[in-house]
Amino acid sequence: MGKFSVFGFFREQWTELPISTADVSDKSLVVVGANVGLGNEAAVHLAQLKPKSLLITCRDGAKCEQSKADMETRSGMTDIESWPLELSSFDSVCSFVNRFEAKGCTVDALIANAGVSTMKYTKTPDGYETTLQVNHLSTALLSILMLPHLVKTGTLENPSRLVIVSSEAHFLANKLEGADKWPGIIETLNDEAYCTSSVMRNRYHLSKLLEVMFIRELSSRLPTTTLVAVSAVNPGFCHSRLTREIESGPLFKFAVRTYKGLLARTTEMGSRTLVHAAIEPGERERHGHYLSSCEVAEESDYALSVEGKEVSKRLWHETLRILGDIDSRVHTIVSEHLIQEIA
Ligand SMILES: NC(=O)c1ccc[n+]([C@@H]2O[C@H](COP(=O)([O-])OP(=O)(O)OC[C@H]3O[C@@H](n4cnc5c(N)ncnc54)[C@H](OP(=O)(O)O)[C@@H]3O)[C@@H](O)[C@H]2O)c1
């Protein structure tokens, strides 16, 4: 699979994707954001394969209960765990990991699927622009805090998996022009004065680029004999509730529904890309890559450019600094599990 092109996009949208049938009877699987959409369909697929355990997360207790009941009915699996996890709160991420550790849970594959798309500038209680925190910072925090658990279950023959659900929308992310002069990239991206309506129109795309960059930086710091294979997955353009905000206006609703009617994959079809990355063999070839239609694909020109690589490196360091202040385990995990850079 090569670089993004409009023709390639159309072709991919209509391509039938493989359904995973891998044996997961000894695997513990975690899917984040599983009450609706791609996460829900991916979790149902996984549950139907009867894994050793399946833990799904939803934002609150009520959604957890409902999703667990629905998923058990649809899949026939009877002991799905469903825990709350709200990514607009760092406390919620840390509490989730604390509970995971207190219960002595294990994980062979973590699908970090939850994401939000909004053009409105709103701040989380932690003081970050919502998309920036939900799609990037909290997803990164969860990934780092869960890394030791993934390392623990991974083997050389069968590495565990971290799958972050990104998007081809990362190709549409604006270049961070002038970032070399910004004292902090994340600080600027979070600044309300910087976040004009045109910046916010591109925020979702940018957040998906940050995820691609995060996976690249993380993989470059994992040992070559890594016990954890990481990837950024593009599920393609799919039917889901992601466009709920844009569809709140009648004109956009009509436009989005028409566009979806012509092109969108079903949610189930899109979810196959998440499941594939999480359980199918070939994880070493996919490690560190952006995947589209279950294959390694090229990242955007900007992500691959000298400027993009510089931004990516700075973002990694800034992100880790922020996350380290939120939870000191981040420092320990980085020093124990990632290759240290020579200053
Ligand atoms: N659909 C597409 O065309 C498409 C294309 C490329 C990539 N993606 C990516 O696929 C992933 C899943 O999206 P989807 O299309 O399935 O959209 P969706 O139907 O809106 O599902 C998003 C999931 O994320 C959860 N979520 C949102 N904000 C959250 C928060 N603050 N804390 C915890 N969970 C939160 C949602 O929970 P609630 O229901 O409670 O809000 C829901 O479970 C996203 O990362 C998205 O960027 C989607």
CATH, residue 156: 3.40.50.720
Total number of residues shown for the chain: 343
Ligand 1 atom closest to 130 (CA): 31
Tens digit of each residue's pLDDT (9 = 90 or more) over 160-191:
999 999 999 999 999 999 999 999 999 999 99
Kindly state whether residue 343 falls inside one of the protein's structural domains: no
Atom of ligand 1 minimally distant from the CA of 114: 24
Whether 120 is catalytic is: no
Count up the domains in the chain and report the number.
1
- Per-residue pLDDT of 11-52, as tens digits, reads 899 999 999 999 999 999 999 999 999 999 999 999 999 999
| The token pair that represents 98 in the structure block | 């604390």
Centroid of ligand 1 to alpha carbon of 66 (angstroms): 17
Q: For residue 165, give the ligand 1 atom closest to its CA.
A: 45
Residue owning the nearest CA to atom 35 of ligand 1: 114
For 101-123, the pLDDT digits (tens) are 999 999 999 999 999 999 999 99
Residue 232 lies in a domain: yes
**Confidence (pLDDT) at 202:** 97
pTM of model > 0.95:
yes
Among residues 208, 240, 271, 292, the one annotated as catalytic is 208
CA distance 278 to 29: 9
Domain-embedded: residue 321? yes
> In this structure, is residue 265 part of a structural domain?
yes
Active site residue 166: yes
Q: Is residue 190 part of a domain?
A: yes
Residue identified by tokens 């394969």 is 49
Q: Is 240 a catalytic residue?
A: no
Phi-psi domain of 214 (left: phi exceeds 0; alpha: psi -120 through 50; beta: other): alpha
Q: Does any domain span residue 182? A: yes
Is residue 341 one of the residues assigned to a domain?
Answer: no
Q: Report the half-sphere exposure of 50 (CA within 13 A, side-chain side).
A: 3
**Which of the listed residues 68, 90, 93, 113 should we mutate to test ligand 1's pocket, taking the one with most ligand atoms within 8 A of CB?**
113
Host domain of residue 126: 6-329
Least Cα distance to 39 among 62, 23, 56 occurs for 56
Asked if residue 26 belongs to a domain, the reply is yes
Pocket of ligand 1 (CB under 6 A): 33, 35-39, 59, 63, 85-88, 113-116, 134, 165, 167, 234-235, 237-238, 240-242
Mean pLDDT of the chain: 96
